[in-house]
Structure 1
Amino acid sequence: MVVALVSGTSGMVGMQLLHQLLSSYDYVISVGRRKLAIKHQNLVQLEGDLSQVNSWDWEHLLVLDSLGGEFNSLKENIVEKKAEIHAFSSLGTTIKQAGSKERFFQIDHDLVIEFAKWAKDLGATKFLYVSSSGADAKSSIFYSQTKGKTENDLKDLGFEYLGLFRPSLLLGNRSEFRLGEQIATIVMKPLVWLKLFKNIRPIYDYQVAKALVRTALSKNSNSVEIISSGEMQDISK
């Protein structure tokens, strides 16, 4: 049994990722502060405060979604360490959305790390994280610095495989309007049409999602990898 754990499914990449996972894994367990309006026979949605995910009674929460006992084998396989578990995180926001740098750090760093620790405790051997093309813990840009610190702290958790995906400007249907990104998209989108500068031209949300899933299912070696935006476009073809 191969199981996917995923956080951040309400976001642009996260929604695409969820659809990719449902067609590729035996079961998908999505965690978040609220459930999505989506139903699937192999999807379990656990909701709660992600900052406290390591203290969740996940077995009880799973049973709540399994009134007919359809997820009993899933629970047993996880508890008995018989399931192969891959974890994915596309959690992220903006400083404007978060309201402050402190709150932004809590979401983009703390919640990701808490989720990763929980996944590791459940037996996840692989962790795939949607970072940013400018991720650098020493960056003077707070956004890039936070992403870099998150990457570094994920490395310390010791997953058998850690994939750090660094997309450039994302294209897709966002739930909120971002003026800066709209302007950048208009300026940069011709690079997509002309197929120029793969690592800096915009990338579609579904391309990132495909790259995440295909990488998770194909990597067996103990390693930490940084996957560039250009590499994601190649993987997702």
Structure 2
Amino acid sequence: MKKIAFLAGTSGLVGMQLLHQLIQHEEYDMIISFGRRKLALKHGKLAQVEVDFKNIRTLNLESKLREEDMGGTYFPLIEALKEKSVSIHAFCSLGTTIKSAGSKEKFYEIDHDYVVNFAIWAQQQGAEKFLYVSALGADPQSNVFYNQVKGEIEEDLKVVPFEYLGLFEPSLLLGNRNEFRLGEEVAKIVSKPLVWLKLAKKYRPIYDYQVAKAMIHHANVDKKVKVEVIPSKDMQDF
């Protein structure tokens, strides 16, 4: 076993694309999905771990995997993690909306604290690379609360000592969400001509699969920088 992917935020728009592409990718022997609940999906390369992201920094992954492993399927995975003989790439697309969270405080906890907690824990497990779905306009000094939080997350992730940190800043995401977001649907209608006409590359909407493909690509090429911001216009090429 050579390479393992940690994945948080699997049930989201980009997260589901990441999962499908990681399963198909020949570089990854196993994918461990972390979430509040398990997905209705089974695959030989997929292990699912139920976690509370608020307390994930206390998670004993080996014990958790042993609990889930009824027939010894995860034995090679557990041994590889235990012996630290495998490369680990952590992908994170955790996020919500203020409406879904119920308040700005809860939104901050989910979008900021859960992401940073996962990053710190993943690094302690041996993850060398961390790839995070941020947002266009992320800026800790922004007057827009959403962009301000995304900017703070980026700054806090830079402190975690990964060999490589990739910060992906997509514009409006296109794809099939499980939940209806009126503001996003209106924005899609207004901005979709930019996609058709291939205009305003920096701001035009981007498909979920393009973001996922860009993340996996950047995880698997040699990097001379420790921190890299990948703008939406660069992800449009995937």
Q: CA deviation at 1:21?
A: 1.0
Give the Cα separation in 2 of the matches to 1:168 and 1:213.
Answer: 18
- The AA in structure 1 aligned to 2:110 is I
The residue that corresponds to 1:4 in the other structure is 5
Counterpart contact for 1:161–1:219, Cα < 8 Å: no
> What are the residue-to-residue correspondences of 1:10-89 with 2, within 5 Å?
10-24=11-25, 25-89=28-92
SS in 2 for 1:59: helix
SS in 1 for 2:179: coil
| Fraction of identical pairs, as percent | 58
* Alignment equivalent of 1:190, drawn from 190, 193, 217: 193
Kindly state the Cα deviation for residue 218 of structure 1 after the two structures are TM-superposed: 1.3
Counterpart CA distance in 1 for 2:77 and 2:119 is 20
Asked if 2 retains the 8 angstrom alpha-carbon contact of 1:90 and 1:130, the reply is yes
Give the drift of 1:182.
0.8
Question: Is 2:168 the partner of 1:160?
Answer: no
Does structure 2 conserve the Cα–Cα contact (< 8 Å) formed by 1:160 and 1:221? Answer: no
Whole-angstrom distance in 2 between the partners of 1:62 and 1:90? 22
Separation in structure 1 between the aligned mates of residue 11 and residue 236 of structure 2, nearest angstrom? 22
Distance 2:113 2:37 in 1: 18
Instruction: Tell me if 1:117 matches 2:133.
Output: no
User: Who is 2:182 aligned against?
Assistant: 179
Which secondary structure state, in structure 2, belongs to the residue aligned with residue 5 of structure 1? strand
SS at match of 1:230: helix
SS in 2 for 1:124: coil
**Aligned-partner SS, 1:29:** strand
Equivalent residue pairs, number: 235
2:98 aligns to what? 95
Deviation per CA, 1:18-49: give whole Å up to 9, x if none.
Answer: 11111121000010111111101110100021
Task: Note if contact 1:81-1:123 (Cα within 8 Å) is conserved in structure 2.
Answer: yes
Answer yes or no: is the 8 Å Cα contact 1:85–1:125 preserved in 2. yes
Cα deviation, 1:52-93, whole Å, max 9, x if unaligned, reads 111122212212332221211211111221110000100000
Name the stretch that deviates more: 129-138 or 46-55: 46-55
Cα shift at 1:183? 0.8
- Partner residue of 2:224? 221
Shift of 1:222: 4.2
Query: Does the residue aligned with 2:235 lie in a helix, a strand or coil?
Result: helix
What's 2:144 paired with? 141
* Aligned-residue CA RMSD (Å): 1.0
Q: Residue 180 of structure 1: CA displacement? A: 0.9
Which residue is 1:106 aligned to? 109
Counterpart-to-counterpart distance in 2, 1:207 and 1:217: 16
CA distance in 2, matches of 1:44, 1:64: 12
Q: 1: distance between equivalents of 2:200 and 2:165? A: 26
CA–CA distance in 1 between the matches of 2:52 and 2:108?
Answer: 16
The SS at the match of 1:133 is: coil
CA–CA distance in 2 between the matches of 1:221 and 1:29? 27
SS of 1:218's partner is coil
The runs of 5 or more residues in structure 2 that have no matched partner are: none
* 1:98-145 deviations in Å (ceiling 9; x for gaps): 000000000000000000011001100000000000100011111000
1:171 Cα deviation (Å)? Answer: 0.4
Match of 1:208 in 2: 211
Secondary structure at the aligned position of 2:33 is classed as strand
Distance, in Å, in 2 between the alignment partners of 1:228 and 1:219 is 19
Alignment TM-score, normalising by the size of structure 2: 0.96
Aligned counterpart, 1:230: 233
Could you list the structure 1 runs, at least 4 aligned residues long, displaced by more than 4 angstroms after superposition.
none
Counterpart-to-counterpart distance in 2, 1:221 and 1:57: 32
